[in-house]
A and B are shown apart, each in its own frame.
With several copies, the nearest count.
Chain A
């Protein structure tokens, strides 16, 4: 069981405590990890939460990826540790090369905060435990730069390798292939724009996010591997 979860906090992150609360509510033990530390401590999983790391200046995630903690996150990911990037966390993971592609401004050029319906396209990843392909979830989005884009070959590869985790049923931001979330090849690193931690209580409108976080807590760390894991051309692992 992955119970101890490190939630990374950059200056400008703002969903760290919401994420911690949601995880603890599900029986996990979440702790906030400062971006300037180089050691993750004893954790079984990592969440890079939403927010505006470094103000999202230059590009979302562009500065955050140079934070000292990101080396540890990369190592952890390479060793098969479960890593979930939510919203800004997804952007950081792409900038850091742990996931392919990039997130551009929404096609409508507006920030969007609202409930969206997404559908599981693959469950072979750390948030898919207990879920089935085709499952529909109501989870809020909250972003300006959530319009996923990648090279054609990358998209093809993502599809072939079953790495598209979620698709929107009604694309809100122009994402290629309606993509709301993807994983790396092994499925231990997932990035998604919707915020599962905001969908963990019916009092707030939905608890469809709980199962995703529960899955993260329940995943065994993927076996460490030395073989060269094939990745897309713009992934750095």
Chain B
């Protein structure tokens, strides 16, 4: 089966996120006074062949560990969307 998977790669807690801060600084000027806690990361969508949702997840988590994400600065959230 072919699964669509979404991987969110976000800066780890405690790691500076200047992109988020820049957006945060700009929002009030546009009238979005109440918005805050902005964090910016990357999203990767891909398709993968697997027997089950669990294997799909396992494959993609392996991909993250080995390649898609740098654990020194990033955390990844994997979501298997559809079969």
Query: Which A residues are CB-close (under 8 A) to B19?
Result: 55, 57-58, 105, 109
B68 on interface, CB distance cutoff 8 Å: yes
Q: Cα distance A180–B71 when bound, in Å? A: 21
Q: Cα distance A57–B72 when bound, in Å? A: 18
Query: Which A residues are CB-close (under 8 A) to B70?
Result: 59, 62, 95, 102
A63–B26 CB distance below 8 A: yes
Q: Cα distance A66–B30 when bound, in Å? A: 8
Query: Which B residues are CB-close (under 8 A) to A106?
Result: 18
Task: Count contacts on B: residues with CB < 8 A to the other chain.
Answer: 16
Q: Cα distance A105–B74 when bound, in Å? A: 13
Query: Which B residues are CB-close (under 8 A) to A59?
Result: 70
A21 on interface, CB distance cutoff 8 Å: no
Query: Which B residues are CB-close (under 8 A) to A58?
Result: 19, 22-23, 40, 67-68
Residue of B nearest to A107 (CB): B18
- 1/0 per position for A62-85, CB-CB distance to B under 8 A? 110010000000000000000000
Minimum distance in angstroms from B66 CB to a CB of chain A? 9
Query: Which applies to chain B's interface (DSSP): helix, strand, loop or mixed?
Result: helix
Chain B residues 12-67 with CB under 8 Å of chain A are 15-16, 18-19, 22-23, 26, 29-30, 40, 67
- 1/0 per position for A84-128, CB-CB distance to B under 8 A? 000000000011000011101111110000000000000000000
Minimum distance in angstroms from A84 CB to a CB of chain B? 21
Query: Which A residues are CB-close (under 8 A) to B15?
Result: 104, 149
Residue of A nearest to B20 (CB): A57
Q: Cα distance A92–B26 when bound, in Å? A: 16
Residue of B nearest to A234 (CB): B72
B73 on interface, CB distance cutoff 8 Å: yes
A57–B16 CB distance below 8 A: no
A109–B22 CB distance below 8 A: yes
- 1/0 per position for A119-159, CB-CB distance to B under 8 A? 00000000000000000000000000001011100000000
Whether A174 touches B30, Cβ cut-off 8 Å, given contacts A55-B22, A58-B68, is: no
B18–A55 CB distance below 8 A: yes
A66–B18 CB distance below 8 A: no
Query: Which B residues are CB-close (under 8 A) to A102?
Result: 70, 72-73
Residue of B nearest to A58 (CB): B23
Minimum distance in angstroms from B39 CB to a CB of chain A? 12
**Could you pull out 24 A-B pairs where Cβ atoms are within 8 angstroms?**
A54-B22, A54-B26, A55-B18, A55-B19, A57-B22, A57-B40, A58-B19, A58-B40, A59-B70, A62-B67, A62-B70, A63-B26, A95-B70, A101-B72, A102-B70, A102-B72, A102-B73, A105-B18, A105-B19, A109-B19, A109-B22, A147-B16, A149-B15, A174-B16
